[in-house]
């Protein structure tokens, strides 16, 4: 079939399917785009021409639309995507941050940035970056550092190998992440006789990888020699849909569970063995038990510094690591005994072998005592009264109680992910959607749109600070255009409260982390707070807006918002510094080794003492 490269690309994407546990579904839902030179007369023309079933979504910031696409894929358990296309130069570069977000979180994202001319005849074109050392280098080479696969199609027939390799990576649970196919604008319009078989329906099989017998025996041996094992469940449990298996495994062998940000929400918060968030942003229950555990069974987690508390959390001198992961890169972290397999399949196989040995852990009342004590602590934080206004923890508690049980909570950055991992109570699976692999400011509003597109029949609430809202909220307008009712909960504490806490806790007074005007007397940003009316901004977009500064106003706003059909924005003024604190955890940051400040010197000494207690690798 004689088609332009862009026309063939659109037809190819429209014919991609994925099969998981025998269920076949369309893989590419549509394409987000912001048209400019480099894409509008290429892939834009192909989309307008028709002959396909892809939806076109109009983005309003390239990073924002790509973040929405990430959230869409994440909420669909990585089995459905929206591709993203842009113009050359700045439009393309705006998507680099989103590609980093996708790759860090192991989420499939296909970006199709326009590129400069392959023929080079009109060079230098508008928005082209010229490198005197190589004419082959363009702005799109920037994607190489953040993508799992990168290609540039300089001839129309190259599209076939590029597309097949792109799909290979996008549908591989161990290798998935961002994929970039750069498209020179002249090549997009060049025609080629594409073979019919390239454009036919193609099914990619997401088969569950089974552990080898050797891996099963090694895992059983590790568990049998442990007295106090602990499971940590991550995103791999989510994407494997293994939450019931993980719960059954834990209950059968009396093993407590800690949750990562990506694993949270799979299990009911009130299950006796579910101790909640673990690590730097975890709670007291999981962190206390983690310090006693002699075996950590890490299921589908990358074991990041927040989960392991910079490899400090596991204080039992005899502690060992057992890791179940589809990715060998992740499975061998922290010198773990590795089981390279799908989470559900591996847990079932290990459970069968372990049952024959009649294993049961030696935990007694420690788990339940820790759970009960921390449940009371969360209740306390949910009920805090502050004379000066609404606390962040109280606001979260009220929202958690009032919204529907199957509503989806979205987050990414600032102090709210910490509060939410510690305090948010999930009763239904897949209701907690946290991007914390990259913790990218600006994901929240855009991500909420992607989640809503993935789950149109459910309420979506996104939680973000004022700093993150200012960073990026462009897709709020896209939500209005799409009729996608999202609820944007802006917690306004007049600054970057999370980073201010970090700054203060490491001995440095507040500097550059509050939204203060410049004082002409001092020349510093230490003048009065500069207030922002976020509700008025929302009203300008056509959203329903609420101004909230008390519990009563918050309750009234949430109840009223349930009757609305347009996006709702909650301008919630919270008391500065009213977020939750850490519980029995440590996070390593680079404290100044030399300083005239006694508090900074003390922080450095404390860091050195904690490094001595941490694992080296």
pLDDT of residue 406: 97
Q: Which of 487, 496, 494, 504 is nearest to 546 (CA)?
A: 487
pLDDT of residue 249: 98
Q: Which two tokens stand for residue 44?
A: 């834009």
Q: Which of 220, 208, 204 is nearest to 79 (CA)?
A: 204
Per-residue pLDDT reduced to its tens digit, 370-398: 999 999 999 999 999 999 999 999 999 99
| Residues β-bridged to residue 386 | 389
Per-residue pLDDT reduced to its tens digit, 126-166: 999 999 999 999 999 999 999 999 999 999 999 999 999 99
Beta strands in 87-160 (DSSP E): 109-115, 149-152
Mean pLDDT to the nearest integer, 209-214: 98
- 383-494+531-573, what's its fold? Rossmann fold (3.40.50)
Beta strands in 474-604 (DSSP E): 487-492, 544-548, 568-573
Per-residue pLDDT reduced to its tens digit, 537-573: 999 999 999 999 999 999 999 999 999 999 999 999 9
Per-residue pLDDT reduced to its tens digit, 513-533: 999 999 999 999 999 999 999
Residue 67 — very low, low, confident or very high, per pLDDT cuts 50/70/90? very high
Q: In three state form, how does the secondary structure of 146-202 look?
A: HCCEEEECCCHHHHHHHHHHHHHHHCCCCCCCEEEEEEEHHHHHCEEECCHHHHCCE
pLDDT of residue 48: 97
What is the DSSP secondary structure assignment for residue 129, as one 8-state letter? P
Residue 437 — very low, low, confident or very high, per pLDDT cuts 50/70/90? very high
CATH topology of 2-205 equal to that of 383-494+531-573? yes
CA–CA distance, 322 with 311 (Å, rounded to integer): 15
Average pLDDT, the chain: 97
pLDDT of residue 240: 98
pLDDT of residue 441: 97
pLDDT of residue 229: 98
Secondary structure of residue 474 in the 3-state scheme: coil
pLDDT of residue 232: 98
Per-residue pLDDT reduced to its tens digit, 488-501: 999 999 999 999 99
Answer left, alpha or beta for residue 51, where phi above 0 means left and psi between -120 and 50 means alpha. Answer: left
- 213-366, what's its fold? Rossmann fold (3.40.50)
Query: Is residue 307 within 8 Å of 323, Cβ to Cβ?
Result: no
- 2-205, what's its fold? Rossmann fold (3.40.50)
| Residues β-bridged to residue 33 | 58, 85
Mean pLDDT to the nearest integer, 32-57: 97
Any idea what the Cα angle at residue 430 is, between residues 109 and 469, rounded to 5°? 60
pLDDT of residue 263: 97
Q: CB under 8 Å to 192, separation ≥6 — which residues?
A: 2, 3, 4, 5, 8, 156, 157, 159
Mean pLDDT to the nearest integer, 212-222: 98
Domain ranges of the chain: 2-205, 213-366, 383-494+531-573
Per-residue pLDDT reduced to its tens digit, 225-254: 999 999 999 999 999 999 999 999 999 999
Per-residue pLDDT reduced to its tens digit, 474-487: 999 999 999 999 99
What is the DSSP secondary structure assignment for residue 517, as one 8-state letter? P
CA–CA distance, 148 with 108 (Å, rounded to integer): 10
pTM above 0.95, yes or no: yes
Task: Tell me the CB-side half-sphere exposure of residue 242, using CA atoms within 13 A.
Answer: 25
Helices (H), 424-550: 443-454, 466-471, 475-482, 497-505, 534-541
pLDDT of residue 119: 96
CA–CA distance, 536 with 575 (Å, rounded to integer): 21
pLDDT of residue 294: 98
Q: Is the peptide bond before 532 cis (omega within 30 degrees of 0)?
A: no
Share of the chain above pLDDT 90, in %: 100
Per-residue pLDDT reduced to its tens digit, 5-28: 999 999 999 999 999 999 999 999
């Amino acid at each position: 079939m004689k088609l332009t490269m862009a026309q063939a690309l659109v037809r190819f994407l429209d014919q991609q399917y994925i099969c998981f546990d025998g269920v076949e579904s369309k893989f590419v839902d549509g394409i987000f785009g912001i048209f400019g030179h480099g894409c509008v007369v290429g892939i834009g023309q192909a989309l307008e021409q028709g002959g396909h079933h892809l939806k076109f979504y109009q983005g309003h910031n390239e990073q924002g639309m790509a973040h929405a696409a990430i959230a869409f894929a994440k909420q669909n358990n990585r089995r459905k995507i929206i591709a993203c296309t842009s113009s050359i130069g700045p439009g393309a570069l705006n998507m680099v941050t989103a590609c980093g977000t996708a790759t860090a979180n192991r989420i499939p994202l296909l970006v199709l940035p326009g590129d400069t001319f392959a023929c080079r005849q009109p060079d230098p074109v508008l928005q082209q970056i010229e490198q005197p050392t190589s004419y082959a280098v363009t702005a799109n080479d920037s994607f190489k550092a953040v993508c799992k696969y990168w290609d540039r199609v300089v001839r129309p027939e190259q599209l076939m190998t590029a597309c097949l390799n792109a799909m290979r990576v996008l549908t591989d649970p161990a290798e998935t992440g961002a994929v970039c196919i750069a498209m020179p604008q002249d090549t997009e319009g060049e025609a080629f006789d594409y073979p019919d078989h390239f454009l036919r329906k193609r099914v990619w099989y997401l088969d569950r990888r089974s552990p080898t017998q050797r891996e099963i025996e090694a895992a059983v041996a590790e568990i049998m020699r442990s007295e106090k094992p602990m499971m940590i469940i991550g995103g791999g449990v989510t994407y494997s849909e293994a939450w019931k298996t993980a719960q059954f495994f834990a209950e059968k062998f009396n093993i407590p569970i800690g949750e990562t940000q990506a694993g949270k929400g799979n299990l009911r918060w009130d299950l006796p063995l579910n101790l909640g968030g673990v690590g730097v942003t975890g709670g007291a229950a999981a962190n206390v038990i983690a310090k006693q555990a002699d075996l950590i069974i890490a299921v589908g987690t990358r074991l990041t510094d927040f989960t392991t508390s910079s490899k400090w959390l596991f204080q039992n001198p005899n502690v060992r690591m057992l890791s179940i992961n589809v990715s060998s890169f992740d499975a061998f972290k922290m010198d773990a005994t590795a089981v390279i397999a799908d989470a559900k399949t591996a847990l079932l196989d290990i459970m069968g072998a372990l049952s024959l040995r009649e294993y049961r852990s030696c935990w007694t009342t420690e788990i339940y005592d820790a759970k009960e004590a921390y449940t009371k602590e969360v209740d306390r934080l949910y009920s805090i009264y502050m004379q000066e206004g609404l606390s962040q923890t109280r606001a979260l508690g009220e929202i958690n109680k009032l919204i529907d049980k199957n509503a989806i909570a979205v987050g990414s950055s600032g102090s709210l992910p910490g509060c939410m991992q510690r305090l948010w109570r999930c009763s239904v699976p897949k209701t907690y959607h946290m991007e914390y692999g990259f913790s990218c400011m600006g994901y929240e509003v855009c991500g909420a749109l992607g989640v809503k597109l993935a789950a149109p029949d459910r309420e979506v609430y996104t939680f973000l600070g004022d700093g993150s809202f200012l960073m990026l909220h462009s897709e709020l307008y896209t939500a209005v255009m799409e009729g996608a009712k999202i609820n944007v909960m802006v917690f306004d504490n007049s600054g970057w409260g999370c980073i201010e806490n970090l700054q203060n806790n490491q001995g440095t007074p507040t500097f550059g982390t509050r939204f203060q005007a410049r004082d002409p007397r001092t020349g510093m940003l230490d003048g009065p707070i500069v207030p922002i009316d976020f509700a008025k901004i929302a009203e300008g977009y056509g959203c329903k807006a609420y101004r909230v500064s008390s519990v009563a106003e918050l309750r009234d706003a949430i109840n009223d918002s349930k009757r609305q059909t347009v996006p709702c924005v909650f301008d919630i003024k919270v008391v500065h510094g009213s977020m939750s604190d850490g519980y029995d955890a440590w996070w390593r940051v680079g404290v100044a080794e030399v300083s005239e400040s006694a508090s900074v010197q003390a922080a450095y000494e404390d860091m050195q003492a904690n490094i001595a207690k941490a694992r080296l690798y």
